[in-house]
Structure 1
Amino acid sequence: MTVAALGDSLTQGFGLAPENGFVPVLSRWLDRNGAEVTVINAGVSGDTTAGGLSRVAWTLTPEVDAMIVALGGNDLLRGIDPDVSRANLDGILKAADEADVPVLLVGLDAPSNYGADYEARFEAIFPDLAETHDALLYPSFLAPLTAESDMATALATLMQPDGIHPNAEGVTRIVEGIGPHVLELIARASDEGSGS
């Protein structure tokens, strides 16, 4: 089975040794948990939801059985209108629907610096679209980093100096959080592939 991870620098593994990036660490986690899966790194550093939409057609090659979609962080950094981000992610999920490829949609917590309205509109995108497209939802890519500690501690111990990208230990925690959801995605792809 082949899973494509469509995303930005968090997926691509920015600032890390190749073996410590999200995709290689996830691949090893899945292997240890009995899933024989090839994970394709379709992460592009700096990519927005618009970039993901422009790449989704050639990401969804015939051998791709399932897709993780982890985009939106760069939309947040640029203050892009949540309606634009929503439309782009909707287009990505429509492409996956048309290709009969199940999706795990990965959400993000919006910062409060754009105001409560922006924050609420952005964070609503992910559960809304997951429901519309019957996609699996993982609420927040970075949530495992603050699960055991406060944000200041997480920034100091689990993030790179830029405060945006996780370090190797941070990636390990992220994978431990999202891994069971990827196993669920793989199970869904197996069921659909067998015609059940």
Structure 2
Amino acid sequence: MVVIGDSLSTGFGTSPEEAWPRQLGQALQSGQHPVDIINAAKNGAGYLAAGEGGETFGSQIAATLNASTDIVVFFGSDNDAGQDPAALKAAVADALSTSKTLAPHAARIVIGPLTAFEPVKADVDVIRDQERTVALDAGAEFVDPITEHWIAGPSSPLLGPDHEHPSSQGQRFLKGMIQGILASLKTPPP
């Protein structure tokens, strides 16, 4: 399994050891069918936004996916706030298309941005809407943390002091939510 993402998946505000992909990897290693997780996420990255080391979701895909990849989880990214919606939609479509080419048998799960609180709610809603449209058109699973109310508000204990990134409790919460999504895949990977 490969995680493509931003600071929501790196442990930013907590630690890489507490990040949900690491916790999920530890939980899935002890199961009947162990799963190795490659966490390609980089702080500041997005479909268009360049994060640490100039990384985007596209460069993360190119560096990590191959024919042996069974699951790709895309998570985020509010780092694309303020981008042209058409350019964002094209970047999401390119990411999903490239992931399908590099990992043709992989289940693809697109998880939208985590939160949409003022003042960037409109921007985050645009990102979520573009991701949902493209994901569904591409036959990928789409999960909407905003509509599903994963985070109740900016003062939620699931968020750290910056009111944006997951706290330690939030990382555990994300691990549980994503583990549940994996368990409910319509067509589990081989």
**Conservation of the 8 A alpha-carbon contact between 1:104 and 1:136:** yes
Match of 2:119 in 1: 113
Match of 1:144 in 2: 150
Aligned-residue Cα RMSD (Å) equals 2.5
The structure whose residues are more often helix, as a share, is: 1
**In 1: Cα distance, 2:184 partner to 2:3 partner:** 15
* 1:134 paired to 2:172: no
Aligned counterpart for 2:66 among listed residues 49, 61, 81? 61
Q: How many corresponding residue pairs?
A: 179
**Conservation of the 8 A alpha-carbon contact between 2:29 and 2:36:** no
Q: Which amino acid aligns with 2:160?
A: Q
Larger Rg over CA atoms: 1
Please list the CA deviations of residues 131-158 of structure 1 after superposition, one character each: whole Å capped at 9, or x if unmatched.
1111111112794232xxxx2540xx22
Aligned counterpart for 1:71 among listed residues 48, 52, 76? 76
Q: What is the aligned-residue identity percentage? A: 23
Q: Which amino acid aligns with 1:69?
A: F
For residues 33-72 of structure 1, the aligned pairs below 5 Å read: 34-50=32-48, 51-72=56-77
**In 1: Cα distance, 2:30 partner to 2:149 partner:** 23
Unaligned runs of 5+ in 2: 49-55
Q: Which amino acid aligns with 1:22?
A: W
**In 2: Cα distance, 1:178 partner to 1:93 partner:** 19
Q: Which amino acid aligns with 1:44?
A: K
How far the C-alpha of 1:185 sits from its partner, in A, is: 4.5
Match of 2:53 in 1: none
Q: Which amino acid aligns with 1:124?
A: D
**Shift in CA distance, 32/173, structure 1 to aligned 2, threshold 3 Å:** farther
**In 1: Cα distance, 2:29 partner to 2:187 partner:** 14
Q: Which amino acid aligns with 1:36?
A: P
Match of 1:82 in 2: 85
How far the C-alpha of 1:89 sits from its partner, in A, is: 1.1
Tell me the TM-score normalized by structure 2: 0.81
**In 2: Cα distance, 1:60 partner to 1:20 partner:** 24
SS at match of 1:161: coil
Aligned counterpart for 2:2 among listed residues 1, 4, 21? 4
Match of 1:174 in 2: 174
